């Protein structure tokens, strides 16, 4: 009985009867008003099902379930009413997208099966969505990791900023937070069009010529076009497309959704921060550089980035042989093969596939050792 059901009615005796009849079969919670129901959903959710009376003072059932649909879309919505008016039923279904419409008084023989069906519907929707999300995120993770192995200079930054992007999205309580991490992973995919010389200049902090800068600024649009071909990633594509745009450059009549604009700004901020550190600045120096350019970022984001940064003392640097490298360590400097090829860029999180690639280089070409890595200081 883990999935919870919320009953809402302004008549206490109705709620008591529901609890008495159903508490042994279902995980029940009750509320005596629409306002109390919304507070419970917010504080104690998620709820699988909400069953609301139609006729209640201040906020009726249609108004309540319409708000539930907007704020808690996964919760399956049902309505109880003693009013058989057809217009009421039509309004409830249209505004609240009601799963079932039941007449009062509703006998246990009808209520229990209706609740069981509502729970089944909730599980179908959430399990299917979670499976799709996990499959999609897993596929994107694999793709991003492969890209970072194939071209570390171009694609490893997206892998590095993913955690920061996810933390900022969570702090801001942005909806569909998985989209922001995927946007981070795929943010540099448009760099496939860029000559390696331009990428090396960008990551080394060397100023670009005018024509090189124009070429570099094409990569977000190219990346967005590629990502937009993947179902369910349209919002991700919008964030990628706007990732280089400064906050003070957004036109007043911009039609980009506010959350997606924030997402694009998170990409810009975290990429700029990662790039500054990759170019050799320490954490505090990189943050000072961002503060000097604060007008480029949405107000409040930079302060939030500072707040989520771990203290420098929590990391320690080790010099290790290749055999002692393990997943989760962070490259403290660029790691090269003996022939001069860049294997892992500075600040890259070392994963199992990366270690397999290092093993192949160590076997056939050789690695420059010892390898400098950072680890969490226990």
pLDDT in tens, 302-354: 999 998 886 544 678 899 999 999 988 888 888 999 998 888 888 788 888 88
Domain boundary among 108, 125, 142: 125
In order, the DSSP letters of 226-258 are HHTTSTT-HHHHHHHHTTT--GGGS-TT--S-H
Q: Which domain holds residue 195?
A: 151-309
In order, the DSSP letters of 126-189 are HHHHHHHHHHHHHHHHHHHHHHHHH-HHHHHHHHHHHHHHHHHHHHTT-SSTHHHHHHHHHTTG
3-state secondary structure 251-312: CCCCCCCHHHHHHHHHHHHHHHHHHHHHCCCCHHHHHHHHHHCHHHCCCCHHHHHHHHCCCH
Low-confidence ranges of the chain (pLDDT < 70): 1, 83-96, 132, 148-150, 153-154, 310-314, 377-378
Are both 258 and 213 inside the same structural domain? Answer: yes
Write out the two tokens for 94. Answer: 């249209």
pLDDT recorded at residue 93: 63
Are both 285 and 263 inside the same structural domain? Answer: yes
Are both 159 and 240 inside the same structural domain? Answer: yes
Kindly state whether residue 79 falls inside one of the protein's structural domains. yes
pLDDT recorded at residue 313: 47
Contacts of 103 (CB under 8 A, 6+ apart): 80, 81, 82, 84
Are both 116 and 171 inside the same structural domain? Answer: no
- Strand-strand pairing, 330-331 and 371-376: antiparallel
Contacts of 116 (CB under 8 A, 6+ apart): none
CB-CB neighbours of 334 under 10 Å: 17
pLDDT recorded at residue 83: 61
Burial 174-206 (b: 16+ CB within 10 A, else e): beebebbbbbbbbbbbbbeebeeebbebbbeee
pLDDT recorded at residue 153: 65
pLDDT recorded at residue 68: 93
Alpha carbon 337 to chain centroid, angstroms: 35
Are both 90 and 13 inside the same structural domain? Answer: yes
Are both 361 and 217 inside the same structural domain? Answer: no
Domain boundary among 275, 309, 343: 309
Are both 333 and 193 inside the same structural domain? Answer: no
Query: Contact at 8 Å (CB) between 119 and 49?
Result: yes
Are both 290 and 354 inside the same structural domain? Answer: no
Write out the two tokens for 64. Answer: 């309540």
C-alpha span between 169 and 166 (Å, rounded): 5
pLDDT recorded at residue 330: 87
Query: Contact at 8 Å (CB) between 283 and 164?
Result: no
SS3 39: helix
Query: Contact at 8 Å (CB) between 32 and 6?
Result: no
Kindly state whether residue 96 falls inside one of the protein's structural domains. yes
C-alpha span between 140 and 219 (Å, rounded): 19
Phi, psi of 51 (to 5 degrees): -120, 120
Burial 270-288 (b: 16+ CB within 10 A, else e): bbbbbbbbbeebebeebbe
Residue 185: closest CA among 206, 212, 213, 156? 156
Are both 74 and 210 inside the same structural domain? Answer: no
Are both 221 and 283 inside the same structural domain? Answer: yes
Write out the two tokens for 83. Answer: 């009013």
Are both 291 and 360 inside the same structural domain? Answer: no
Kindly state whether residue 211 falls inside one of the protein's structural domains. yes
């Amino acid at each position: 009985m883990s999935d919870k059901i919320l009953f809402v009615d302004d008549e206490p005796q109705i709620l008591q009867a529901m609890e008495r009849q159903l508490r042994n079969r279902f995980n029940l919670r009750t509320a005596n008003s629409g306002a109390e129901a919304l507070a419970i959903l917010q504080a104690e959710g998620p709820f699988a099902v909400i069953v609301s009376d139609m006729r209640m003072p201040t906020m009726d059932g249609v108004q309540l379930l319409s708000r539930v649909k907007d704020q808690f879309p996964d919760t399956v919505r049902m309505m109880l009413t003693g009013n058989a008016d057809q217009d009421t039923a039509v309004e409830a279904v249209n505004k609240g997208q009601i799963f079932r419409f039941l007449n009062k008084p509703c006998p246990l023989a009808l209520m229990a099966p209706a609740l069981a069906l509502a729970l089944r519907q909730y599980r179908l929707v959430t399990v299917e969505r979670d499976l799709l999300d996990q499959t999609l995120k897993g596929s994107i993770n694999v793709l991003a990791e492969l890209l970072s192995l194939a071209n570390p200079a171009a694609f490893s930054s997206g892998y590095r900023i993913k955690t920061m992007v996810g933390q900022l999205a969570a702090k801001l309580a942005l909806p569909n937070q998985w989209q922001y991490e995927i946007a981070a992973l795929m943010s540099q995919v448009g760099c496939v069009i860029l000559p390696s010389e331009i990428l090396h200049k960008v990551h080394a902090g060397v100023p670009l010529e005018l024509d090189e800068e124009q070429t570099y600024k094409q990569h977000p649009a190219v990346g967005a076009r590629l990502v937009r071909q993947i179902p369910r990633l349209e919002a991700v594509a919008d964030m990628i497309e706007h990732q280089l745009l400064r906050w003070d450059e957004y036109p007043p009549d911009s039609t980009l959704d506010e959350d997606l604009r924030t997402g694009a700004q998170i990409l810009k901020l975290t990429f700029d921060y990662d790039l500054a550190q990759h170019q050799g600045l320490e954490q505090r120096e990189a943050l000072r550089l961002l503060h000097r350019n604060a007008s480029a970022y949405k107000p409040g984001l930079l302060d939030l980035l500072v707040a989520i940064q771990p203290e420098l003392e929590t990391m320690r640097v080790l010099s290790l042989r290749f055999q002692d490298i393990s997943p989760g360590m962070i490259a403290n400097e660029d790691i090269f093969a003996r022939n001069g090829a860049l294997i892992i860029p500075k600040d890259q999180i070392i994963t199992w596939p990366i270690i397999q690639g290092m093993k192949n280089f160590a076997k056939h070409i050789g690695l420059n050792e010892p390898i400098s890595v950072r680890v969490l200081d226990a």
